[in-house]
Amino acid sequence: MPEGMEMTKQRQSEPADEVLNPFAGLHVHMIGIAGCGMRALAEMLSGNGAHVSGSDMGSNAAVERMIASGISVHIGQRADNIAADCDLVVYSAAIKEGNPELIEAARRGIEVVKYSRMLGRMMAQSAGIAIAGTHGKSTTTGMVAYVLKAAGLDPSFVVGATVDQLGGPSGVGAGKHFVAEACEFDRSFLNLEPKYAAVLNLEEDHPDCYRDIDEIIEAFKQFVAKVPPDGLVVVNGDDRDAMKCVVDTACEVETFGLSDGCTWQGVDIETADGLVTMTVTMNDQEFCRVKIPLPGLHNAYNSLAAIAMLHHAGVQADKIAELLATYTGARRRMTLKADLDGVVVLDDYAHHPTEIQVTLKAIQDYYKPKRLICVFQPHQHSRTRFQLKDFARSFGEADAVILPDIYFVRDSEREKDYISSNDLVAQIRLHGGEAIYLKSFKEIVERLKGIVETGDLVVTMGAGNVWEIADEIVHWLRKDS
C-alpha cells in the first residue's frame, strides 16, 4: 500500500444478516423476456429459486439459452401464457398497456410490476451498487462486476449488455454486492435501492421522456437521493451538469475526473495507440497506476468511477489495477468482429452524438485505418430530430458514412413524418462529410462489397439491428479469404 494510504477511509459494509430469500418458490412470469435487461433479471430470479416463465414476440439465441436452463418461454403473447399458479408478473418498459398478458394479470388480480421495480426489490436485499449516466453505463457496470468476481467477492450483477468474461449479462453470486446498470429511460432508475451509486456523466437524451436538460438533472437528483445517508455517491467532477445532481445530497459524495480537486484523479497520463495509462490518486495521494484496457479517454473516466466503487466495495488498490487491466469489455462496445485480408470489421452500440464522436476517435487512434467507413443506423425519429445538428457534427473522424432507415422504436407514427435518414445525410454533407442513404441492409452490404479495400475499417453503429450488416460483411470476407 502506498505511503499515507493507511488512514484512507474505506467503506466495507458488514455482511448482511441471514434473511429468508423472498423470491424462492415464487412463480414469476416475465412479459418481454428476451430483452437484455429482462433476460438478465430472469436468470437472477431463477438463480434465487423462483420458477420463471416468460413470453416474447420472437426467438433468438438468448431465448434458446433460457429454455435450455429451464426457463419456460412462449413465443407470442397471449392471455393463456400466464399459468394458473402465477404469483407475480414483471413487464419491460417496451410493453404497451393493451398487452393481452397484462390485461389477463389484472383480471386475475395478480401483482404486476415493471422490470425496474423488480430489479429494485432484488437490490434491496444486497449491498447495491448502481451505475448511472448518459454514457458508459454498461462498460463501467461490467468493469465493477468483473473485478469483484475475479477478486473472489462473488457479486450478483445485471449489465445492459453481454460481458463474455462474466458469462453473460447477469449472474447470481453468494457475495453481498449486487451491481446493476441504472438506466434513466422512463425514469426506471428511480426504482432501484442502491447503497453506492455512480453518476458517470449527464447530457440531453431520451426526448420522448424528458422535456429538456433541467428535467434530466431533476431525475438524476431523485436517483441520487435514493442513496441512504450512510451510503456513497461518486460523481464526475469534470461534468458541470452531473455535479448539479449532488447538491444538498444527504450521503457522502466523492468526485472523479482529470481536474485538480477531484477525490479520484487521473494524473501522469500516457497514451499509446488510444490506450491510456495513468496514475490514480485519492485525495491527492497515489492509489494505483493502471493501464486502461479499452481505447479512448472516455474509458479513463469510466475506469476512475469503477476504481472508486471497487475501493469502497473492499478490493485492494493493487488488485484493482491488476484485474482492471484484463477487462475486455462488453459486447457491441467497439467489438472486433473480424480482421481478414487487411479489413477490420467492428460493431458498436453508440447511438448518441457524443458516443459516436468519442468512439470514432478511439477507433482512429487504436486501429489507424486507411479509411474508416461507418454504417450508422439512427435510433428513434424523435432523438434524430431533436439532435440532428449534433449528429451531423459527430462523424468528423469517419471517411464515409452510410445510413439505412431510422430504427423505429417507441415513437408515434406521426414522428416518422418529421425526419428521415436523408435529412441527416444532408446535414453531414453540409458539415463537410461524405454520406449516403441506402434504404435496405442488402443495398448497404452490396455497396460495401464494392468499395471495401485492404486497410479499411468498417464499423456498424447503433442501438438497433445494424449489427446484422457487420455479420454479413464478415461472412463475405471469410468466403473470399
What is the chain's mean pLDDT, rounded?
92
For 139-164, the pLDDT digits (tens) are 999 999 999 999 999 999 999 888 99
Percentage with pLDDT > 70 across the chain: 96
Final residue of a domain: which of 114, 145, 179? 114
Same structural domain, 304 and 157: yes
In-domain check, residue 195: yes
> What's the confidence (pLDDT) of residue 481?
63
Looking at the structure, tell me whether residues 319 and 339 fall in a common domain: no
* pLDDT tens digits, 95-141: 988 999 999 999 999 999 999 899 999 898 899 999 999 999 999 99
Residue at 308 is within a domain: yes
pLDDT at 475: 95
End-to-end CA distance of the chain: 51
- Please give the pLDDT value at position 329: 94
- What is the rounded radius of gyration, in angstroms, for the C-alpha atoms of the chain? 23
Same domain, 66 and 151: no
Domain that holds residue 290: 124-324
Q: Give the side-chain half-sphere CA count within 13 A for 212.
A: 1
Check whether residue 310 and residue 359 sit in a common domain: no
Do 171 and 316 have their domain in common?
yes
**Is residue 404 domain-shared with residue 463, that is, in the same domain?**
yes
On whether both 179 and 302 belong to a single domain, the answer is yes
Give yes or no: residues 219 and 275 share one domain: yes
Whether the predicted pLDDT of 286 surpasses 70: yes
Q: Are residues 157 and 265 both part of a single domain?
A: yes
Number of Cβ atoms within 10 Å of the Cβ of 285: 12
**pLDDT tens, 367-397?**
999 999 999 999 999 999 999 999 999 999 9
- Domain-located, residue 19: no
**Per-residue confidence (pLDDT) for residue 44, from 0 to 100:** 84
Instruction: Let me know: does 178 contact 119? Beta carbons within 8 Å.
Output: no
Claim to verify: residue 302 and residue 347 sit in the same structural domain: no
Same domain, 451 and 371: yes
What is the rounded average pLDDT of the residues 229-254?
96
Q: What's the CATH code of the domain at 269?
A: 3.40.1190.10
Last residue of a domain, one of 114, 135, 164: 114
Which pLDDT band, with edges at 50, 70 and 90, does 14 fall under? very low
pLDDT at 2 over 80: no
Compute, in degrees rounded to 10, the torsion defined by CA atoms 384, 216, 203, 416: 0
Pick the range with the lowest mean pLDDT from 15-29, 95-109, 110-124, 346-360.
15-29
Tell me: the pLDDT tens digits for 41-78? 898 898 889 999 999 998 888 888 889 989 999 999 99
| pLDDT score recorded for residue 170 | 85
- Which tens digits make up the pLDDT trace of 158-203? 998 889 999 988 888 889 999 999 999 889 899 999 999 999 999 9
- Contact of 57 with 77, CB cutoff 8 Å: yes
What digits encode the pLDDT tens for the residues 442-459? Answer: 999 999 999 999 999 999
C-alpha span between 447 and 103 (Å, rounded): 46
Residue 20 pLDDT: 62
Domain count of the fold of the chain: 3
Domain annotation covers residue 5? no
Q: Can you give the pLDDT at residue 10?
A: 44
**Stronger pLDDT, 369 or 205, i.e. the higher one:** 369
Residue 424 lies in a domain: yes
Task: Give the confidence band of 94 by pLDDT, cuts at 50, 70, 90.
Answer: confident
Last residue of a domain, one of 72, 93, 114: 114
Mean pLDDT for 206-226 is: 93
In a domain, 106, yes or no: yes
Tell me if 15 is assigned to some domain.
no
Cell of 169: 449479462
Please tell me the distance from the alpha carbon of residue 40 to that of residue 283, in angstroms, as a whole number: 37
